[in-house]
Amino acid sequence: MTQKTVRQYKEIITSRYAHLFLGLLVLYGIYSIVTHTTSFDKITENLKRYCYADYEMKMPRNPLNIREIKYYREKFKERVDALTKGAFDHDRKDEAQSYFMNYEFLYDSCRENGNPSYLLARIVEKGVTKREIPEEVRFDYFILGEKTIVPFPEYEKGPGARTFVSPGENAIYLYRDSLEPILRWYFESLWITQPKQSYQFYGDALSYSLYRDLQGTCEAMFLKEHPKNRRSAEESFVEEGFKTFLPTMLSMGARMAADRKSKFPSDYQYLRACLTGLSLDPNHTMFYLLKTGTLYTYTPMARKGWNLFLQRLDPTYPDQITLQKISETSQDILNRLKVPP
């Protein structure tokens, strides 16, 4: 009896089918390691789902859908609460902010025109700066990387929406992801074409604008250095590129900081910030992006300003557009805008 049992066990152990099962267990081990997520990842994911379900509640839907979304929102809220037990109370913004700050993430939430808006993004840099616009403004700023949770206006407008700056409660947020994908796209096209002459750096209007702003970086990298490692070259290109546009963004931020206490509508504040940035630190790319981007403005003052901006300096003739003209035009529009009541 015992010998028979031993023989049966031996047969099982030496069976190739059993070996395959052991192989599967090893694979499960690898899987468990590579798919491991921290509680931070889980909190972020469930918070994101909760926030987006909250946004969906505000979007026009049929009543049945609303009930479903409401249920999902509650479930994700329950999950966030369960996961954050002991770490922070999600309903208290300051606690949530300090929790995310530990992981170098910025969390913010607010209510604008009755709509909830959340923001969660990696902090690339934070600091204090002083700008003259022409009045001197000192403000705190955060340069934010790719957003994990996008604010409601961006979510509502869809993937094409691009915002360069926005006002936070205590600081100005500068969004690096409004430019980074464009810089990466431009780098990739250059890496593939490997330009040898300056005219090979551009084809369409956007790449021409980028080349005009980043001429030094482009030529140094592709005509002189010829880097071999694509990844490091791309990172350095994006870094250099962003540095070029940062002064404009800071000027925009300064205007936002100065207008913070005004009662201007948010879209009008944004228009003023963009015009200030372009008048003080003009560049071709941001000018082109603002000219060609879809406008979402609701207040008459903002619409009037953007219409003026769109009418001036035709981007189909880019050679006729100079930094000086961009600056003068932006300043002129800014001056012509009446201060709303």
Q: Which is nearer to another protein, 30 or 128 (CB)?
A: 30
For another protein, the binding residues in 10-29 under the rule CB under 8 A are 16-17, 19-21, 24, 27-28
Q: Which is nearer to another protein, 21 or 103 (CB)?
A: 21
> Which among 65-73, 93-101, 187-195, 296-304 is the span making contact with another protein, rule CB under 8 A?
65-73
Q: How many alpha carbons fall within 13 Å on the CB side of residue 339?
A: 3
- One-letter amino acid for residue 283 of the chain: N
Query: 1, 5, 14, 30: which one contacts another protein (CB under 8 A)?
Result: 30
CB 273 within 8 A of CB 165: yes
> Dihedral through CA 96, CA 100, CA 102, CA 104, nearest 10?
-150
Q: Which is nearer to another protein, 37 or 294 (CB)?
A: 37
- One-letter amino acid for residue 28 of the chain: Y
State the CB neighbour count (10 A cutoff) for residue 68: 14
Round to whole Å and give the CA distance between 261 and 153.
21
Residue 272's alpha-carbon distances to 176, 309, 324, in angstroms, are 20, 11, 18
Over the window 41 to 60, marking each residue x when it contacts another protein by CB under 8 A and - when it does not, the resulting string is: xx--x---------------
Contacts 24+ apart (CB under 8 A), 159-164: 160/293, 160/294, 161/294, 161/296, 162/289, 162/293, 163/270, 164/249, 164/252, 164/273, 164/274, 164/277, 164/286
Query: 2, 3, 5, 37: which one contacts another protein (CB under 8 A)?
Result: 37
Q: Which is nearer to another protein, 119 or 301 (CB)?
A: 119
Query: 58, 75, 122, 157: which one contacts another protein (CB under 8 A)?
Result: 75
Q: Which is nearer to another protein, 64 or 128 (CB)?
A: 64
End-to-end Cα, the chain, rounded Å: 98
67 binds another protein, rule: CB under 8 A: yes
Q: Which is nearer to another protein, 19 or 243 (CB)?
A: 19
> Which among 31-39, 190-198, 205-213, 214-222 is the span making contact with another protein, rule CB under 8 A?
31-39
Q: Which residues bind another protein (CB under 8 A)?
A: 16-17, 19-21, 24, 27-28, 30-31, 34-37, 41-42, 45, 67-68, 71-72, 75
